[in-house]
Amino acid sequence: MSDPMQNLNDAADALNQVAARAAGFYDDADAEIATRQAAYDALAANLRAVVGVEMNFLAYVDPDEANPTNVDGGTFTSISAAVDAAPRGALVNIYLAPGKEHVLSHYVYVRHRRLTFLKNGAGANPVIRHAVVANATHNSLYGFTMSDGGAVRAGSIDFVLDDKADAGLPWSNNKTAFAYANAGRTEVELVSCKVTGNAEQGITSAYTGNQVRIGMWSTTLDGPFNAVVSVTSGLASISHGAVTLLNGAALNDGGTLGTNLLKTS
């Protein structure tokens, strides 16, 4: 027969071991919780800096860059790559290599970002060239689309709108550098820029109830196009100063002052 006293001693030892393991577990858990709590406290205390890092994006674009980093504060070979890399809703500063063409060969979706284009250093203004694609029925101009919000500001940038890819076809409604959005809003600000375009084109459009706000300062429009087209289809606010209109350029295509058009004289 087993010794009752020995059994009691064995049971007591087992309970002591369980208690010791439990104490160790709780000590480890308390330490882990304390570590994580400290990390959360630090994050909360620095939340403004965290948000600032996430919501401010910087890019340097050079189409001839051999080894683009494609990260915040780094280099890119195209505007679209830089925009796509930025968080939605961010303030995005994009510095373009001077004296070079930066071709838009497909639509750039702004997606609640505020894009600011600037010249990176001395030299001739960078050129954003908007390419054209033709299908079986229409020509369409590639540009920036803000159907889901956003705005664009440019300083010392030249915009060139290519002419029809198929001269025998008409333009589609996508014939502006900054595309319209059904019942949407387009905001464009141009400072010391030049826009060169062709007949029927525009910087932006009020088509299908789009609301346009465009501001221009010390900017030249060159060619038989309008800053805003299809004004009667939506609302347009045009503010400008020191704007030069050359070779048939005009501020608006249609619209009635005080009804669907506001503009400075």
How far is 205 from 211, CA to CA, in rounded Å?
A: 9
Is 198:226 a contact under the CB 8 Å cutoff? no
How many helices (H) and strands (E) the chain has is answered by 3, 23
**What's the predicted TM-score (pTM) here?**
0.81
Is 220:197 a contact under the CB 8 Å cutoff? no
Q: What is the pLDDT of residue 10?
A: 62
> Strand order in 158-161's β-sheet?
101-104, 127-130, 158-161, 194-196, 220-222, 244-246
Q: What is the pLDDT of residue 153?
A: 98
Q: What is the pLDDT of residue 6?
A: 62
How far is 208 from 234, CA to CA, in rounded Å?
A: 6
Q: What is the pLDDT of residue 8?
A: 60
| Per-position pLDDT tens, the chain of length 265 | 556 666 666 655 666 665 667 566 666 667 778 778 777 776 666 656 555 566 899 999 999 999 999 999 999 999 999 999 999 999 999 999 999 999 999 999 999 999 999 999 999 999 999 999 999 999 999 999 998 899 999 999 999 999 999 999 999 999 999 999 999 999 999 999 999 999 999 999 999 999 999 999 999 999 999 999 999 999 999 999 999 999 999 999 999 999 999 998 7
Q: What is the pLDDT of residue 32?
A: 77
Please give the DSSP secondary-structure letter assigned to residue 28.
H
Q: What is the pLDDT of residue 41?
A: 72
Q: What is the pLDDT of residue 31?
A: 72
